[in-house]
Amino acid sequence: MEVALVGIGKIALDQHVPAINDSPDWDLSATVSRHGTVDGVPAYDDFARMLAERSDIRVVSLCLPPVPRFGYAEAAIRAGRHVMLEKPPGATLSECHALEAMARAHRVSLYATWHSRQADKVPAAKAWLVGKTLRKLTVNWRENVRQWHPGQDWIFEAGGLGVFDPGINALSILTEILPDPVHLSAAVLKFPENRDTPIAAECQFFHPEGAEVSMVLDFLEPGEPTWTIRAETDQGVMVLENGGGKLTIDGHVDDSVPCLSGEYPRLYAQMARLVEKGGIDMDLSPMRHVADAFTLGRRITGARFEW
């Protein structure tokens, strides 16, 4: 299948281009970006023109930041294209619901991707938690924004989610692996005085069986990143580290090797399946928790943030 990649920036070049090039299912047939290009691939800087001129391209993969994404997704769906959305799938939940309704009306596939759900050890973590009584779960997601998002001002502008941009990755894993649904019960969000989105957050969740569930997010971690979920149960302790890439149960590291490796190759394999079947995959639960944190969270204003 021919695919056009839109928004040629960090994640498009780091992950999407290699995943598409290595896949037997996909051909990268065009890019659309105001500045970015990919060697050897026809480049457009006008999305409407690409849609009009390239009726051979049935699938569009949107790698833009969340705020401009809705307009591009709407145009693609109205032009009858199948659409793949980077995380988070939009700037608001309402936008995402509108896109889903539009995709159904136009009979095209729509995929809200959550790359962290495709990390190697997420399925094993999910399987291990089944049938166990959860007592305590802590999410610890800390990274250096200057290292991982250098100069990306959009992340600190309204709609950019701030520390919830990586935090939503943790929530995408949490909502995938927990047998029982949780919902946010309290949060404290720390905003730099000169920015629109939080730089740190602490969240607590209600668990239907009374387990203690909490999450700490920090964008000012000076050293190596920590992307860890730790679960204490009646039958042992599970630690999922490296954003879902490493699993340890009661001190023993799970060393099984998955057959298809890599988060983005799995996302593109799933998109190929959706297009083949005419499916829609729009699980918005990670984003719902973020919206709840912004609704319920207590706001603290802290020091200015400069790159």
Active site residues: 87
Task: Please give the residue whose beta carbon sits closest to ligand NAP in the complex.
Answer: 9
Binding-site member from 82, 115, 190, 289 for ligand NAP (CB under 6 A): 115
H or E stretch including 112? strand 110-112
Least separation in angstroms between residue 108's CB and ligand NAP is 21
Residues 76-105, interacting with ligand NAP (CB under 6 A): 86-87
Residue 253 · residue 239 · CB < 8 Å:
no
Angle between helices 285-296 and 164-177 (to 10 degrees): 130
Q: Please select the residue that binds ligand NAP; options are 9, 42, 225, 258, rule is CB under 6 A.
A: 9
Output 128 or 219, the one with its CB closest to ligand NAP: 219
Residue 298 pairs in a beta bridge with 188
Task: Name the segment binding ligand NAP (CB under 6 A); options: 1-9, 48-56, 74-82, 122-130.
Answer: 1-9
7 binds ligand NAP (CB under 6 A): yes
Q: What is the nearest approach in angstroms of ligand NAP to the Cβ of residue 158? A: 13
Among 42, 43, 58, 68, binds ligand NAP (CB under 6 A): 68
Burial of 55 (0-12, 13-18, 19+ CB in 10 A): exposed
263 binds ligand NAP per the rule CB under 6 A: no
β-strands 200-206, 212-218 pairing: antiparallel
Q: How far apart are CA 157 and CA 305, in angstroms?
A: 12
* Helices (H) then strands (E): counts for the chain: 10, 16
Any contact of residue 142 with ligand NAP (CB under 6 A)? no
Stretch that binds ligand NAP, among 53-61, 65-73, 235-243, 272-280 (CB under 6 A): 65-73
Between the CA of residue 261 and those of 137, 239, 255, what are the distances in Å? 27, 21, 14
Tell whether residue 288 is a contact of ligand NAP (CB under 6 A). Answer: no
Residue type, 248: T
**Signed CA dihedral, 275, 280, 286, 290: sign only:** positive
Positions 16 through 45 that interact with ligand NAP (CB under 6 A): 33-36
The residue whose two tokens read 């909490």 is 214
DSSP state of 223: S
Q: Which span sits near ligand NAP by CB under 6 A: 57-65, 117-125, 223-231, 271-279?
A: 57-65
Among 26, 61, 65, 290, binds ligand NAP (CB under 6 A): 65
Does 225 engage in binding with ligand NAP (CB under 6 A)?
A: no
Does residue 265 belong to the site contacting ligand NAP (CB under 6 A)? no
> Which of 3, 4, 5, 8: binder of ligand NAP (CB under 6 A)?
8
Three-state DSSP at 173 gives helix
Is 179 in contact with 133 (CB distance < 8 Å)?
no
Identify each DSSP E strand in 156-235 by its residue range. Answer: 183-192, 200-206, 212-218, 226-233
**Closest approach of ligand NAP to the CB of residue 135, in Å:** 32
CB of 6 to ligand NAP, least distance (A): 8
Of the two residues 64 and 137, which places its CB atom closer to ligand NAP in the complex? 64
What SS3 class is residue 301?
strand
Judged by beta carbon, residue 68 or residue 123, the one nearer ligand NAP is 68
Helices 93-105 and 66-78: angle between axes, nearest 10 degrees: 10
Interface ranges with ligand NAP (CB under 6 A): 7-12, 33-36, 63-66, 68, 86-87, 115, 152, 154, 165
